Amino acid sequence: MLAGILAVVVLAGVWFVALRSVPVSVNGQELSVRIGTPFETFLADNDYFGATPGRLMSVGGNVIDERGGNPCAVVRDGQELTADEIAATAMGDGDTYTVSNGTDAVEPYTEEEVIIPPAVQKERGGAVQYVKQWGQAGHKTVLHGERSGETADAEGAVPATDMIIGSINLKPEGGPYVALTFDDGPSRYTPDILAILADRGVHATFFCLGNQVASNQSGAKAIVDGGHEIASHTQSHQNLPTLERDSLRSEISTAFDNIEQATGVRTQMIRAPYGAFTEQEWGRAGDIVGCNVLWNVDTHDWERPGAQAIADTVLNNVRNGSIVLMHDGGGNREQTVEALPLIIDGLHDQGYQIVTVGELIELDGSIPQAVVGNAVSMPEDAALPA
């Protein structure tokens, strides 16, 4: 008898807790529902109370299904429920719901983290080019739609910081100053040029070819021993914009290595053949180049117009901060050798002090000291555009 009574009590308790109906309010309508009924089931059984479903959208913002989005929007007791909350909600005694039209939903997708490389901006018109601002990579999340096959960028992308190449004509204070430079050596003409420079007590900058240095180490060492500045004209005088990345870097670094082996000097200064060092080359090799040095006065001595014509070109066109282009290799340079005393004496008569390119850069004062000291290094948090 007692056992029967207990069973009845237990069943009654189960009914009260789990099986009884409770009142709820939906859009102001009083309804009765079994307690604990999943809310999603309740919505489906009541055809979502006439709500119109939202659209299913692709990650690219295109409509995949006009009625494939969220079936309805729900507010319970004044609080809007998310789709996950709707799925987890069970009906309770006295709950109050507002059901309205559904919202658009985005198709299922996967995410991919993508690095955004920096671009290169290069200033124009200057004879000395250097890294003015290092680039930094950005990043973004790319969404890949599983139904549409579309891809789209998620919000919150961090943009890259561009690499900026400064390009200036030097304006040293306290001048006038001028730098004499020689390309394509060392050669059999280099000793004569060094002798003239020594006789007149001036120093110049020699942009040497790495293969010439490798075959004439004593000639390269004589440049440094004479107190002159040695820099690179690359390894073999190739047109750098035509090279692939690895070949470009090798053309530059091999010349630096050959110069260091012959002279003990590790330079980062180059003069690109034909002056051709574009944004592409900076993007591929900006971490190993301190500066690219062009010129303001081109003597055209390689055309062999005559010693006086070479000298006149310099003396009639030089300005404070000028960089003069001549050659000590790459062909017959007898006229250059003959013109050099005329140039030096004429510059002195005009009041010019003759210095190296490095000294000219330092006297200008606007370029980072690391460029002058051949000590440029790319920061750890920087990135090359390539």
pLDDT at 276: 97
Cα–Cα distance for residue pair 6/290, rounded to 1 Å: 93
pLDDT in tens, 275-296: 999 999 999 999 999 999 999 9
The model's confidence at residue 12, banded by pLDDT at 50, 70 and 90, is very low
pLDDT in tens, 183-242: 999 999 999 999 999 999 999 999 999 999 999 999 999 999 999 999 999 999 999 999
Q: Of the candidates 233, 240, 235, which has an alpha carbon nearest to the alpha carbon of residue 258?
A: 235
Of the residues 183, 184, 301, 328, only one is catalytic, namely 183
Residue 10: burial class (beta carbons within 10 Å; 0-12, 13-18, 19+)? exposed
pLDDT at 1: 54
Mean pLDDT of 135-141: 97
The C-alpha torsion from 362 through 364 and 366 to 368, rounded to 10°, is -10
Q: Of the candidates 236, 248, 238, 246, which has an alpha carbon nearest to the alpha carbon of residue 281?
A: 248
* Least confident residue range of 17-31, 137-151, 251-265: 17-31
Q: What are the beta bridge partners of residue 116?
A: 138
Q: Tokens 């930094």, residue?
A: 136
CB 122 within 8 Å of CB 278: yes
183: annotated active-site residue: yes
Cα–Cα distance for residue pair 66/53, rounded to 1 Å: 8
The helix, strand and coil proportions of the chain, stated in percent and rounded to the nearest 5, come to: 35, 25, 40
Of the residues 203, 327, 328, 364, only one is catalytic, namely 327
Domains and CATH numbers, the chain: 21-106 (3.10.20.30), 109-167 (2.20.230.10), 170-372 (3.20.20.370)
DSSP state for residue 157 in the 8-state scheme: -
Q: Give me the chain's average pLDDT, please.
A: 94
The whole model's pTM is what?
A: 0.81
Neighbours of 266 (CB within 10 A): 11
Cα–Cα distance for residue pair 75/71, rounded to 1 Å: 14
pLDDT in tens, 142-191: 999 999 999 999 999 999 999 999 999 999 999 899 999 999 999 999 99
327: annotated active-site residue: yes
